[in-house]
Homo-oligomer: A and B are copies of this chain.
Amino acid sequence: MKTYLDCIPCFFRQALEGARIVRASPKQQKQIIDGFARKIPKISLQSSPPEIARLGYALLKKISPNGDPYKDIRQKSNRIALRLLGRLKNKVNHSKDRILTALELAIAGNIIDFGVKNNLNVKAELKKILAKESKVIHKKSIFHYLEFKRALKKARKILYLADNAGEVVFDRVLVEEIKRAYPEKDIYYSVKSKPIINDALLEDARECGIHAVTQVISNGTDAPGTLLDLCSKEFRKIYKSADMIISKGQGNFESLSQEARPIFFLFMVKCPVVARETGCKMGDTVLFYNLKKNGSIQN
């Protein structure tokens, strides 16, 4: 997905919020805003939003070079989500279509996102998710579940792109269900290599216990999405050879939506630009398979 001019005010807002999270002084906050403003005339709107957002986050790293300012937030998300694991599994156990329920929960877990709204009360939001599952279902505007089931059945190698810490617990439930239905599938769960906002890292994958369920890899970058050019060779090899990709979150959608690969994008619509791009509404739950780029998947 290309960047829209409407993304630019939002980049500034994110840079400022990030600056405050890394405890930049007011002077440093101004320096970050100024530094980012200087980059604006040089950027191409053909870049994806995560590519541009990354430039802002790079400025934050200068203030806090070895820092991992969202570490507490990541750990807190992991703990809160882990406490919900029993209830998540219970929901799946009592459902008619286990994969569908796990899939819906995995998308609902995408609400854990500090890039979009950093004052999110994760605990309250997650409780709401569990309470209002039926509502979530009603807000599906794009939901290519038939294609998803077909692809899942046929796939041998699946690459699952993580988004946020905490959310990993929700992903774990889906991966466990896929493994239960198809024990023979190779599933790679991919996280970021270095801290970026509250995106899941290897340590989060471990804390959320998904490493015990499937293979966990890191993608070689600290971009808030999947910028293939910056990813490690190892990651790209798996990306290219996977015959199904499950992609979580807006950042991954924004960076991979133009790819002609069998990618299923699972996310909640969190900004008006993505809402317009997808024809959805804010807060919608999306399971999107790019039929135009990939064609239909036959049984």
Report A's interface with B, CB cutoff 8 A: 5-6, 8-10, 12-13, 16, 26, 29-30, 33-34, 37-38, 40-41, 45
Contact = CB atoms under 8 A, between A and B. Distances in A.
Given A6-B16, A10-B9, A12-B9, A41 B45 contact: no
Contact of A9 (B16, B40, B45): B16
A45 B6 CA distance: 24
Contacts of A6: 16
Contacts of A5: 16, 26, 29-30, 33
Contact of A37 (B16, B26, B30, B37): B37
Given A5-B30, A8-B12, A33-B40, 5 more contacts: A5-B29, A8-B16, A9-B12, A12-B12, A37-B37
A38 B6 CA distance: 18
Contacts of A38: 37-38, 41
Contacts of A37: 37-38, 40-41
A34 B41 contact: yes
18 contacts: A5-B16, A5-B26, A5-B30, A5-B33, A8-B12, A8-B16, A9-B9, A9-B12, A9-B13, A9-B16, A33-B40, A34-B40, A34-B41, A37-B37, A37-B38, A37-B40, A38-B38, A38-B41
